[in-house]
Structure 1
Amino acid sequence: MNNKTSINYLILIITPLLFGCRGTVKEENKNNALANSVSLHDGNEEYFTIDSKESVVMWKGGTLNGLNTHTGYISISKGKLIIENGQLIGGTAEVDMNTIEDEAHKSDDGLIKHLKDPDFFDVEKFPFSTIVLSKAIPINGENKRVTGNLTIKNITHPVSFPAKIEVKDSIVKMNGKLVIDRTAWDIRYKSRKFYDLLADQTISDSIEFNINIIAKK
């Protein structure tokens, strides 16, 4: 195998790993920097920057019996989506955990303060959460199944969720619903897996995130 062939072979091996890796936020940022180097790609990738003013994540959580639920918002601080031939092939999004708000857009009430403390997201210690997208598998039309790795509190796990992705001209619109088991990210407060509580005191392990992203060239 000559040198040119060896280099091309190594590039084919390295490139898929850039968006499917697992690790800390620091490692992901390093991978993002590498991924942004167009010289590593031989295809027709196009990079779209997430508009932080138009993009938002809506969260929903509550008690296990469903009688007491809370919803709110959290901001996407930055990120990119990578599109090739009209299809999502990768990307990253960083969420600023300090921007957590309730449904009335209040950020200083008791609920929000509790969500920010060590019982939940421990925001002072872990101010950012990230998701690294690896691919979007077509289901029908604009409906896809997106896969990637989600990092919360410096813990990373693979995730998969349905999303509608529209690529038109210089704008990408992505609307998805991601439901996670919070205990996998060490958010154990009043979980029935770790506490012996009455049903009306037990908090559901499921947290729902409705992701709305607008990305532009």
Structure 2
Amino acid sequence: MKKLILPALLAVSLLVSPVIAGTPAASKATTSNSKAATKTFKLQPQLSTLGWEGKKVTGQHNGNVQFKEGTLQVSGNQIVGGMFTVDMNTLKVEDIKDAGMNGKLMGHLRSDDFFSIEKNPTSTFKITKVTPMKADAAGNNATITGDLTIKGITKPVSFPAKTGVKGDLASASGTATIDRTKFDIKYGSKSFFEGIGDKAIMDDFTLSFNVIAKAEGKSSAAVK
């Protein structure tokens, strides 16, 4: 897009299912597990992915960005919280193969028009609520709500996800749709600039995630 998206957090059509098809986020038997001790599972960045996809009138672009660190909070067999940090300096464009064009778009995405990466080298997401739901056609079995921070601006977001806990592993995967303008990323937005025609970039971009975490204190051999 001769410009766009985020990341961001902050999505590719690279929606990978969790490595674990484990126990669903919750069932009637696990929705009120308040007495169960909450355990911390540490994110495995080498096993986790975060992709982005942004669209414009004349096409679209996609790529990925890497998690820096994170945790999932687990109670019983249910994910109940979590916190993730994304290293914005790892932002990449995947669909443009020409080095010159790729570098041009990357430079724009790193600029103040988009993510201001030099000033804001990380983005974060803090889970504030996980609501179990009946699994849909995509296998999503929970709605995740949390606070997303991009460019130092924090806004609440909510999206469906497939979550599971099995033994010492916990996983979550899904796709979140983000309105970039809420994070002061207004470049090329028809919502703010009239008459830009086919140069317009859509306000929404998507983040496709697949996160794997293991119980703290467990050896890496537990992750297969």
Tell me, yes or no, whether TM beats 0.5.
yes
Largest Rg, 1 or 2? 1
Q: Unmatched 5+ residue regions in structure 2?
A: 1-33, 216-224
Q: Give the aligned residue type for 1:196.
A: E
1:77 match: 68
2:144 match: 146
Q: Tell me, yes or no, if structure 1 residue 46 matches structure 2 residue 39.
A: yes
Q: Tell me, yes or no, if structure 1 residue 122 matches structure 2 residue 116.
A: yes
1:88 match: 79
Q: Tell me, yes or no, if structure 1 residue 59 matches structure 2 residue 57.
A: no
1:17 match: none
Q: Give the aligned residue type for 1:60.
A: E
Name the SS of the counterpart of 1:190 in structure 2.
Answer: coil
Conserved 8 A contact 2:61-2:95: no
Q: Per-residue deviation at 1:43?
A: 4.3
1:209 match: 207
What is the CA–CA distance in structure 1 between the aligned matches of 2:209 and 2:35, rounded to whole Å? 30
Q: Per-residue deviation at 1:55?
A: 1.0
Conserved 8 A contact 2:188-2:196: no
Q: TM-score, normalised by structure 1?
A: 0.76
Size of the aligned set, in residue pairs, is 175
Q: Which has the higher helix share?
A: 1
2:177 match: 179
Q: Give the aligned residue type for 1:44.
A: A
1:103 match: 94
What do you get for the CA RMSD once the two structures are aligned?
A: 2.0
Q: TM-score, normalised by structure 2?
A: 0.73
Runs of 4+ aligned structure 1 residues displaced above 6 Å come to: 105-108
Conserved 8 A contact 1:72-1:105: no
User: CA offsets, 1:28-50, max 9 Å, x none?
Assistant: xxxxxxxxxxxxx9741111000
1:162 match: 160
Q: Unmatched 5+ residue regions in structure 1?
A: 1-40
